[in-house]
């Protein structure tokens, strides 16, 4: 055996026989302790607050719905921390006051933005799925002495409003329809002059059920297709397109087109509209609303439709003649 081989064997033997130093022991202990602490914190965050956060979010949703006599329940709920906090509910039932039928949502995802909460802001992203349709978007709400500033962006496609049962909640009416569209909005809801954005909506296969609205008996009304495109910018609004009913479709109970401008003030009652309107109603609707012809008779056209300017305060406009 050569001298170099003897030297190598001697060094290896010394390394095997020499016990680890105290510093090496402490480094090993600290290393494993760090790994243990990391996984302890990770799984604590992943599992411990699950029920607490779920209960809090459920109570917040219930608090918003209970004044309207609506309760909700979900078959399952889960929280994910993989790409930020996300609360997922599945098989949601909305129980509306009788005789209204219950609504149903297949899945809802809510992802709150945690960091903005440090500055008193509420926001995040949301997604609602129902059969073959969905709506998703982002929102934020910041409160101050001047009011509540809201930011919202959304995208919807083939969302079945009837199955969800949300029309009585959002509009106080019973009906169904399929919603699509996209848009964005920013501003204080109580201060129209702060509004900015573009609202785009398409409502197809809309049916207003026979019901009583504000003391009036309303017959069943069907509208195959409706479109709305409205923009807001620096205290001005523009109704680019607002159409009810598909042109040439005689099955629609209402055909209407509106276009014109909005002047937005600091308050709703200080805001005005000036919209050119053409309205045509089916015999079913005119029989139910006998006062329509009395109110709009001066604006009746040869084809039986009504053409007039809808002008005045945004919350209570009145019809008037169209300027030459």
In DSSP notation, 266-288 reads SSGGG-EEEEEEEEEE-HHHHHH
162: left (phi > 0), else alpha (psi -120 to 50), else beta?
alpha
What percent of the chain is modeled with pLDDT above 90? Answer: 48
- CA-CA-CA-CA torsion sign (219, 258, 273, 201): positive
CA distance 238 to 273: 10
Q: What is the pLDDT of residues 39-84, one digit of tens each?
A: 554 555 555 456 666 777 777 778 878 887 888 888 888 877 766 7
- Contact indicator for 87, 77 with CB cutoff of 8 Å: yes
CA distance 124 to 299: 48
pLDDT for the residue 11: 42
Q: What is the pLDDT of residues 96-139, one digit of tens each?
A: 888 788 899 999 998 888 766 666 678 889 999 998 899 999 98
Do you know the residue count of the chain?
324
- 23-38: average pLDDT: 54
pLDDT for the residue 36: 59
Higher pLDDT, 163 or 141: 163
State which H helix or E strand residue 170 sits in: helix 167-170
The two tokens of residue 191 are 């201060």
Higher pLDDT, 201 or 97: 201
What ranges in 48-88 are assigned the alpha helix state H? 50-65
Residues with Cβ within 8 Å of residue 272, at least 6 apart in sequence: 262, 263, 265, 311, 312, 313, 314
Higher pLDDT, 271 or 324: 271
The two tokens of residue 203 are 């409502």
- 164-180: average pLDDT: 90
pLDDT for the residue 31: 54
């Amino acid at each position: 055996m050569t001298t170099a081989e003897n030297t190598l064997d001697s060094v290896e033997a010394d390394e095997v026989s020499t016990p680890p130093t105290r510093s090496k022991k402490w480094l090993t202990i600290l290393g494993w302790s760090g790994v243990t602490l990391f996984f302890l914190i990770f799984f604590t965050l992943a599992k411990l607050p699950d029920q607490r956060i779920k209960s809090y979010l459920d109570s917040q949703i219930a608090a918003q719905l209970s004044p309207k006599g609506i309760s909700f329940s979900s078959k399952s709920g889960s929280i994910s921390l993989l790409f930020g906090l996300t609360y997922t509910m599945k098989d949601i039932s909305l129980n509306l006051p009788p005789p209204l039928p219950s609504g149903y949502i297949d899945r809802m995802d809510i992802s709150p933005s945690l960091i903005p909460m440090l500055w008193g802001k509420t926001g995040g992203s949301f997604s609602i799925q129902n059969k073959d349709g969905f709506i998703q978007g982002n929102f934020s709400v910041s409160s101050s002495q001047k009011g509540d500033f809201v930011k919202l962006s959304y995208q919807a496609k083939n969302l079945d409003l009837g199955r969800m049962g949300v029309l009585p909640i959002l509009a106080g009416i019973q009906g169904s329809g399929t919603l699509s569209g996209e848009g964005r909005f920013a501003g204080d809801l109580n201060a129209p002059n702060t509004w900015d954005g573009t609202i785009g909506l398409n409502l197809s296969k809309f049916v207003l059920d026979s019901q009583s609205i504000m003391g009036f008996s309303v017959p069943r009304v069907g509208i195959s297709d409706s479109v709305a495109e409205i923009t807001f910018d620096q205290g001005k609004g523009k109704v680019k397109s607002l159409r009810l009913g598909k042109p040439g479709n005689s099955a629609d109970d209402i055909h209407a087109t509106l276009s014109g401008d909005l002047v937005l003030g600091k308050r709703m009652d200080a805001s005005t509209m000036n919209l050119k309107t053409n309205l045509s109603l089916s015999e079913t609707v005119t029989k139910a609303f006998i006062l329509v012809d009395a109110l709009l008779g001066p604006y009746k056209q040869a084809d039986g439709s009504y053409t007039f300017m809808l002008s005045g305060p945004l919350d209570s406009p009145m019809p008037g003649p169209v300027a030459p």
